[in-house]
Amino acid sequence: MMDEDIMETGTYHDRPRTFPNMRSKPYTPLIFRILLGINVRVLFILLLLGFGAIFYMGASTSPIIVFVITICILSFLVAIYLMKWVLAKDEGPPEMVQIADAIRDGAEGFIRTQYGTISKMAMLLALVILFIYLFRSTTPQQEAAGMGRTTSAYITVASFLLGALCSGFAGYVGMWVSVRANVRVSSAARRSSREALQIATRAGGLSALIVVGMAVIGIAVLYATFYVWLGVGTPGSMKVTDLPLLLVGYGFGASFVALFAQLGGGIYTKAADVGADLVGKVEQGIPEDDPRNPAVIADLVGDNVGDCAARGADLFESIAAEIISAMILGGTMAQRCKIEDPSGFILFPLVVHSFDLVVSSVGIFSIRGTRESGVMTPTEDPMAILQKGYSVTIVLAVLAFGLSTRWLLYVEQAPSAWFNFALCGLIGIITAYIFVWITKYYTDYKHEPVRTLALSSSTGHGTNIIAGVSLGLESTGLPVLVISVAIVSAYWLGQTAGLIDETGNPTGGLFGTAVATMGMLSTAAYILTMDMFGPIADNAGGIVEMSQQPESVREITDVLDAVGNTTKATTKGFAIGSAALASFLLFSAYMDEVSSFSREPFKQVDIAIPEVFVGGLLGAMLIFVFSAWACAAVGRTAQEVVNEVRRQFIERPGIMDYKEKPDYARCVAIVASASLREMIKPGALAIISPIVVGFVFRILGYYTGQPLLGAKVVAALLMFATVSGILMALFLNTAGGAWDNAKKYIETGALGGKGSDAHKAAITGDTVGDPFKDTAGPSLHVLIKMLSTITLVMAPIFL
């Protein structure tokens, strides 16, 4: 506790500060405690045996799998190097370390509780899936391979649980890195801006490499395990082209965890942020992250559990869903075209993301403290430095993609097909770059839209809200046009690639869009690096403010924080674009699976049928209700925080004069419990809705003589939910990011600066935008993909 003589001086500037411990003892996950308890030699032998088994299965499957696993392991070694490099940096003075410890304790405590809740729900859902699959019908391919219902059920459940476990681990890694890097960035900012930028970037890169590597190696190992266990390729066994359908459970498990992680973390971070801003900045007139604000530790904890842990699980799910859907479509096309060795088309997505790990690593290491002083010149923009790294990554990604298509997609019956698919990948890469640029244009205060929004704040709170809403609505136009052009162009290139089925019809269109999606995600590791950079920089700024460092240090972290807001917004735009393409692929995979189970052609959905049109309406409604519940959850939790912060300011008047300490732990406890409670309702809506709709209309179709009615209605639900979800997510993310950076722009001194009427109006806009950009918006693009994966897994009960 703080010494009484310090409390009586009326100030504790430039004095040692201590902050409350949020837990009674350090928390280490069970798996790490087990590993740490094993003898080093025994652990080394176990690792060798494990890697030996993995490489054996890979060698028994395909040399491509061996290549993928090798690249993933090398990327993990690079991540270990980055971890040692970041952790070797100093943590700064004791007051910084104490604040960082409080943030770390709060984040780890919440993650432990949240993941405990999610794991219980995952086990319950696994039992439901097991029950459904034990009584479902089987496909002709499974019957031909002799795979019974029991085997299929256990495979799907195991895939689901593995996907959930890996997604949870990816989220934990994101949080683990951020709560240790933030204080090191704060310390580096006391010396130079370039060093602080480099540490934040490499810390984000460490998390990104592990997340992407986990997604790739998880699918590769699962594929190889099923290949060896089921004896794929031997007479009377399953064909290799049918194997990717067994991986759908993995994508569903990843989506399930990502949705609840995003919901819980998003509610946590934004409720704490809103509560801290409304009372601290608006009512009390104290700066952001001021140590007198009781909610400031909860706000900083929220950056880690909402923006780092949730985003790690989110991108893991995006990559897993895209890989699995592309593998399914590649196998289907190869089968229709009678390609002699279809493994190249099936494993192509894994190779693309293996090269993603390589090129993104180069991009991360290209950002270096090259100047002797390490200080950026006045004209040197941190965003420009990150963009240079992104440009390096994109150039290398184009070369790697061309090499991958020539290596894996060359077939003698269509010698030029690989070039068409390479162009599809180029379309995807260009689409990703344009998406990043569009989002940057609408959310960076160096451009006209945000400056216009900031100017509207000078005339009041209402005009700020109107301008922000209109900016968000307008921002949906360009991304939709870009996505539309990309889908049509990639489909046309795939159709004209020269691959034809037995009847002479071209069949490469859907695979062309799949390749474009792979191209868009071919720099995913670097994109996630930029995203992780944002919350780490934000936390660093909070630590600097709370430890009362000189203004020059805060100026450096403020610049990095503003850039972080833009990188977070651009990453969300990138994620929405990739979600749109991935959902299109998953929808096609769903139609193929319905055809397999029903043994009837299922090529189109007629929305002129009343029941199907109703399904579409229900899908669109789902998006709006889900968004409303997510935002309302933030509002209700924020109200509890506001009431608590107000109570402390009233009951402890000495807080404002530094004579009494705020009760930070109380706010952390309130936000943690409320966010876990509030995430259940919208999450349950997302999971239950497609299952209930499909089952109800299946029964209705049975009595009206329409055997595929349930599947058709669910297809319409998926289509309408995807379209409305993409538009809603674009609106929410962009409007929220623009409001935030409009406030940051005014805080640079424009339009009266901090404390002005324009600043107060901008804070109101930022408060409104908080649940938009960090709760409802990010959760929506996870929801879109989860709807697709859950319908793939649950398709048998719709028939």
d(C-alpha 570, C-alpha 575), whole Å: 9
Name which of 311, 237, 224 is nearest 269 in CA terms.
311
**pLDDT confidence of 96, banded at 50, 70, 90?**
confident
> Chain-wide mean pLDDT for the chain?
82
pLDDT in tens, 261-298: 888 888 888 888 888 877 877 777 777 777 888 888 88
Q: Which residue has the tokens 């002709």?
A: 140
Q: What is the pTM of this model?
A: 0.85
pLDDT at 540 over 90: no
Residue 506 dihedral angles phi and psi, to the nearest 5°: -65, 140
494: left (phi over 0), alpha (psi -120 to 50) or beta: alpha
- Of 18-27, 468-477, 655-664, the one with minimum mean pLDDT is 18-27
Contacts (Cβ under 8 Å, ≥6 apart) of 204: 177, 528, 529, 530, 531, 532, 533, 536
Q: Helices (DSSP H) in 20-148: which residue ranges?
A: 30-37, 40-61, 63-87, 94-134, 140-144
3-state DSSP: the chain helix, strand, coil percent, rounded to 5?
80, 0, 20
Nearest Cα neighbor of 655 from 296, 293, 297, 274 is: 293
Q: Which residues of 260-298 are buried (b: 16+ CB within 10 A; e: fewer)?
A: bbbbbbbbbbbbbbbbbbbbbbeebebebbbbbbbbbbb
Average pLDDT over residues 688-699: 89
- Residue 500: phi, psi to the nearest 5? -130, 155
Q: pLDDT tens digit string along 565-620?
A: 777 777 777 777 777 777 777 777 788 778 777 777 777 788 888 999 999 999 99
When pLDDT is averaged across residues 650-658 and rounded to a whole number, the result is 82
What value does the mean pLDDT take over residues 645-649?
Answer: 86
Judge residue 420's burial from the number of C-beta atoms within 10 Å of its C-beta, 0-12 exposed, 13-18 middle, 19 or more buried.
buried
Cα maximum dimension of the chain: 89
Given a contact cutoff of 8 angstroms between Cβ atoms, the answer to whether 60 and 227 are in contact is yes
CB-count burial class (<10 Å; 0-12, 13-18, 19+) for 692: exposed
The amino acid occupying position 698 is R
Q: For the segment 348-400, what is each residue's pLDDT rounded down to a tens digit?
A: 999 999 999 999 999 999 887 544 444 444 446 788 888 888 889 999 999 99
Q: Is the pLDDT of residue 9 over 50?
A: no
Provide the pLDDT for residue 10: 35
How far is Cα 702 from Cα 672, in angstroms, rounded to an integer? 46
CB-based contact 758:454 (threshold 8 Å): yes
pLDDT one-digit tens code per residue, 166-225: 888 888 888 888 888 888 898 888 888 888 888 989 998 988 999 899 899 989 988 888
Alpha helix positions (H), 409-508: 417-443, 448-456, 461-474, 477-495
If pLDDT is split at 50, 70 and 90, which confidence band does 7 have?
A: very low
Average pLDDT over residues 476-496: 90
- The residue with greater pLDDT, 420 or 534, is 420
Give percent above pLDDT 70 in the chain: 92
Q: pLDDT tier at 555 (50, 70, 90 boundaries)? A: confident
Q: Would you say residue 3 has pLDDT above 80?
A: no
pLDDT digits (tens, 9 = 90+) for 757-769: 888 888 888 888 8
CA gap 609, 554 in Å, rounded = 61
Report the C-alpha gap between 375 and 386 in whole angstroms.
15
What's the pLDDT score for residue 774? 80
Q: Which pLDDT band holds residue 35 (cuts at 50, 70, 90)?
A: low
Handedness of CA 66, 68, 72, 78 (dihedral sign): positive
Average pLDDT over residues 638-645: 87
Distance of CA 85 to the CA centre of its chain: 25
Rg (Cα) of the chain, in Å, rounded?
26
User: Quick one: DSSP state of residue 247?
Assistant: G
Length of the chain as a residue count: 799
pLDDT of 17 above 50:
no
User: Tell me, what's the pLDDT at 316?
Assistant: 86
* Spatial contact of 266 and 674, defined as CB atoms under 8 Å apart: no
Name 506's bridge partners: 500
d(CA 283, CA 336): 67
Short-list 522, 532, 603, 608, CA closest to 563: 532
How would residue 142 be classed by pLDDT, with cut points 50, 70 and 90? Answer: low
* Residue 3 burial by Cβ neighbours in a 10 Å radius (0-12, 13-18, 19+): exposed
Residue 63: CB atoms within 10 Å: 11
Residue with tokens 């910084």: 96
For residue 556, give the amino acid letter. Answer: I
